[in-house]
Amino acid sequence: MAADDRILIAGGGPIGFTMAYNLALKGIPFTLLEGGDKVFDDPRAGTIHPPTLELFESVGVTQTILDRGYIVNNYQYRDRKTGVVADFDLTVLKDETPFPHRVMLEQHKICYILRDLLSAMEDVKPEDRQILMEHRVSDVKQDAGGVTAYVDSPDGRKEFRGRYMIGCDGGRSQVRKSMNVDFAGFTHNERFLVLSTRYDFEPFGYALTNYIADPVEWCALFKVPGLDEQGMWRVVFPTDISISEEEAFEEETVQRRIHGFHQKDGNYEVWHRNIYDVHQRVASCYRDGRMLVAGDAAHINNPLGGMGMNFGFHDAFNLTDNLAKVWFDGASEDLFDLYDRQRRTVAQEYLQRQTIENKKNIEQTDEAERLKFHDELRAINADKGKLVPYLMRVAMIEGYRRSLSIT
C-alpha cells in the first residue's frame, strides 16, 4: 500500500492535471491515478475563457496557453438561413479582465503542458508527484485517518492510501459513486455529432467561434490548432438519439450535413468523427468527508458556450487553495464545505442555466420567439451599456466573481 501522506487524484484529464500541478506548486504530495494508457487526444473541449486565463496566470501557465492556442477576440451568433445576427466583440471587456478574449486550445494539449511542467519540477521529489497511467480507481473507502483507493492496474488490484481523495474522473466518476451523493439532472433526447475538417471557413466571413441557429438543424463551428498545429475546424450537429453511431458516421450523411450549412465543390475531408450523449447534472454535494469531486465528476452540461471545462478549472483552483490552508495552516476542514457552497451554487445558477438557455435559443422552433431573440441580441450588441454585462456573463466573469462572494 502506498504512503498515505498525500492527496489522491482520480482522473488524468485537464482538471486532474490542473489539480496535480497546483498541489505540486504548493508542496503537497500527490498520486494521480488515470485509467487510460495515455492522455486521449480525441476532439473534446477546446475553449478557455477569461477567468480561467487569469487563474492560470497566477501559476505561470497562461503565456504558454496563449502561445499554443488561437486568441479569439470575437464570436458570431448566426442564423442558418439569413447569416450573421450579431458579431460580439470581446475586447470591450478590457476594463474587466487582462484577457478580454477566448483562447481555443484542445484540452489534451493543456494536459500535455501541465504534465511537462510537472516533470520538469526538479525541486519536487518524483515520489511526491506521481502520475500512474493504467491505474483505474474502482472504489474508495474512507475512515477517520484517510482514504483508501482500490485500483485496477496492469499488475492486478492495488490499494493506495491518502489523506484525501479528489475525483476528477469524469461524468461516470467512481469517486462520486463511492460518495453519499446524488447526481441529479437529465439527459437530452439527442446526441451531439462532432466532425473535424481542415477546410478553412474563415475566408467566407466566419469567426473562429460561431453559433448557427436553426429550428431544424442548428450547428456550432469553431477552429482549434489541431494535431499538427495547422488548424482544424470542428462542426457540431444535433443527432437523433435513435440513430446509431455507424449511421451517423456514414460518409454520405456526414457530407450532407456539412454541405447543408456551407456548400462547396466536392467532398469535405473529414479527419475525425465523434458522437456523445449530452447531460445536464450537478452532484448534490461536492464533498463527503475526505472525498471531493471537481470538473465533470461534479457537474456535466451541454457544450454550447464552452463552459464545462472552465468550470472544472475554477473548481481545481478553489479546492487546491483550500487544501493548502488545511494542509499547512491547520485550517478547519469546513473549508471543503465552503468549496462545495461556492462551486456548486454557481454550477446550478450559471453553468446549468446558461448552457440550457444556449441550447434552447439555438434550436428555437417558434418563429416569433426566434426573431424576438435575434432582435434582442442585435440590441445588446448595439449598446455598450448592455453589451458589457451580457459578455460578463457569457465570458464567465460574472459567475466566477459570484462564487467568490459566497461565504
Is there a domain that residue 139 lies in? yes
> Residue 168's closest CA among 275, 319, 303?
319
In this prediction the pTM is 0.96
40: confidence class by pLDDT, cuts 50, 70, 90 = confident
pLDDT digit string (tens) for 366-387? 999 999 999 999 999 999 999 9
Q: How confident is the model at residue 353, as a pLDDT?
A: 86
pLDDT digit string (tens) for 191-213? 999 999 999 999 999 999 999 99
Is there a domain that residue 217 lies in? no
Say if residue 235 is exposed, middle or buried (CB neighbours under 10 Å; 0-12, 13-18, 19+).
buried
Residue range 272-287: average pLDDT? 95
Question: What mean pLDDT, rounded, does the chain reach?
Answer: 95
Give the CATH number for residue 20.
3.50.50.60
Is there a domain that residue 239 lies in? no
Residue 129 CA to residue 150 CA, distance in Å, equals: 19
Residues 6+ apart with CB under 8 A from 38: 133
**H-only helix segments in 269-396:** 308-329, 334-346, 353-362, 367-382, 384-394
Q: Is residue 1 predicted with pLDDT exceeding 50?
A: no
Domain residues for the domain of 60 are 7-184+280-405
Q: Is residue 123 predicted with pLDDT exceeding 80?
A: yes
Residue 341 CA to residue 288 CA, distance in Å, equals: 13
Residue 134 CA to residue 36 CA, distance in Å, equals: 5
Q: How confident is the model at residue 306, as a pLDDT?
A: 87
Query: Is the CB of residue 319 less than 8 Å from the CB of residue 18?
Result: no
Q: How confident is the model at residue 351, as a pLDDT?
A: 85
Is there a domain that residue 235 lies in? no
Residue 167 CA to residue 226 CA, distance in Å, equals: 28
What's phi and psi for 149, nearest 5 deg?
Answer: -100, 130
Is there a domain that residue 72 lies in? yes
Q: Is residue 2 predicted with pLDDT exceeding 80?
A: no
Is there a domain that residue 134 lies in? yes
Residue range 35-51: average pLDDT? 91
Is there a domain that residue 221 lies in? no
Amino acid of residue 268: Y
How many folded domains does the chain comprise?
1
pLDDT digit string (tens) for 85-94? 999 999 999 9
Residue range 232-251: average pLDDT? 96
Is there a domain that residue 189 lies in? no
Query: b/e for 116-143, b at 16 or more Cβ within 10 A?
Result: ebbeeeeebeeebbbbebebbbeebebe
